[in-house]
Amino acid sequence: MLYARLVAWVRRVRTASGATAVQVAEYTEGRRRIVAHVGSAHTEAELGLLVQRARELLADTAQAELDLGVEPTPRQARLITPAEGACEDGGLFPESAPPPAAARARVSAPQVLATGSRLLFDTLAEVYAEFVTGLLEAERVCRGTRKGTRKLTSREQAVLVLRWFADATRVAQLIVDHGIKKSTGYDYLHEGIRVLAAQAPDLHNVLLAAKLAGHGHVIVDGTLIETDRVRTPGPTKNVDLWWSGKHHHHHGGNVQVVSAPDDGWILWVSDVRPGREHDTTAARAQDIDDALDDFRGIGGETFADLGYEGLQGTVTVPFKTPKGGTLTDDQKKHNRIHNALRAVGERANALLKHVKALRNVSLDPWKIGLIAKAALVLIHTDHRRTT
């Protein structure tokens, strides 16, 4: 009996982590089999890119088999290793019952050269590279940079910057991959961070847009971006400037985050303040309280935790249990409702740190604010959403 492919299609499967896996599947001899795992998407934008890639693979009728970025190897009994969500029989050919030799002779076993996540990064990098390249081109024009005076083109510089943000690739590796000097690599990186951060929105404009979008309130919260710098003297003797006792004694920078009330979408991020500062101090140092007070003047509210107790009248905080006393039933009910409405803001902090470069910053800690703003621009561009 001939072993032939009858039909192939793009298959989408929800994974245990909540992502959507995109696969190329085929129906052969009455059985569904997974030919390739294209990648896993966490957003609608990523899903669209992966589905388009899978459809391109299926649409290529000029070849006998799907071109999945693989190269032929000697024919084997198993076509591929089991993909995520594949059947438990060990791949296309169950090892307990190998197919006849005639069937094996009709299928070439590919050797996978790249993972699905690598394909996803390459696809997304293609999209982002155009956006970042345009910003870098404009920056070079403003600087009056002459053609041929830089080692890397604007596009190559954009790829360098995106690799640092998306994969947290070390600068030492980036300069090797691009064949540039260490100082040049850092110059390119800092320039990319700066031009991206310049696209970040102003807080007053963000709050006005939130009000026009129908948001009756917003959520403000502080998050700590960890840093490796642990030897910077602070105002307190023998205490480092970037040390934060609140966050399990980690070193880092305090960044204020404003988010939407419906789904915790990240709207705005602040400049950085030393991790030793409380949220109220950090907010006042950057005039965030003034912007929130203006938002209150146009009918908006801001929900925050007790870290902003000093800003009562500008923001709404839960009731604090008095020393040696208890809260009334009404106060407890208020706190439960307040905490439920405010908790969704934690998603914004998680979304910001989804950018790997912000999980631990080894650059100058005072640059954390610029890095966070640049990451915000990339997130907004990825999801095509600002409010």
Over residues 71-101, the pLDDT tens digits come to 443 433 333 333 444 434 433 333 334 444 4
| CATH assignment, 203-383 | 3.30.420
The reported pLDDT for the residue numbered 13 is 82
Q: Is the pLDDT of residue 159 over 60?
A: yes
Average pLDDT of the residues in 202-227: 94
Average pLDDT of the residues in 22-51: 76
Average pLDDT, the chain: 80
Q: Is the pLDDT of residue 364 over 70?
A: yes
Q: What is the pLDDT of residues 334-357, one digit of tens each?
A: 999 999 999 999 999 999 998 999
The reported pLDDT for the residue numbered 81 is 39
Share of the chain above pLDDT 70, in %: 77
pTM, whole model, 2 decimals? Answer: 0.68
The reported pLDDT for the residue numbered 237 is 79
Q: Is the pLDDT of residue 238 over 80?
A: no
Domain ranges, ordered by start, for the chain? 7-113, 118-197, 203-383
Domain 118-197 has CATH 1.20.58: no
Give 303 or 11, the one with higher predicted confidence.
303
- The 3-class secondary structure across the chain, one letter per residue, is CCCCCCEEEEEEEECCCCCEEEEEEEEECCEEEEEEEEEEECCHHHHHHHHHHHHHHHHCCCCCCCCCCEEECCCCCCCCCCCCCCCCCCCCCCCCCCCCHHHHCCCCCEEECCCHHHHHHHHHHHHHHHHHHHHHHHHHHHHCCCCCCCCCCHHHHHHHHHHHHHHCCCHHHHHHHHCCCHHHHHHHHHHHHHHHHCCCCCHHHHHHHHHHCCCCEEEEEEEEEEECCCCCECCCCCCECCEECCCCCEEEEEEEEEECCCCCCEEEEEEEEECCCCHHHHHHHCCHHHHHHHHHHCCCEEECCHHHHHHECCEECCCCCCCCCCCCHHHHHHHHHHHHHHHCCHHHHHHHCCCHHHCCECCCHHHHHHHHHHHHHHHHHHHCCCC
The reported pLDDT for the residue numbered 230 is 72
Q: What is the pLDDT of residues 289-321, one digit of tens each?
A: 999 999 999 999 999 999 999 998 899 999 999
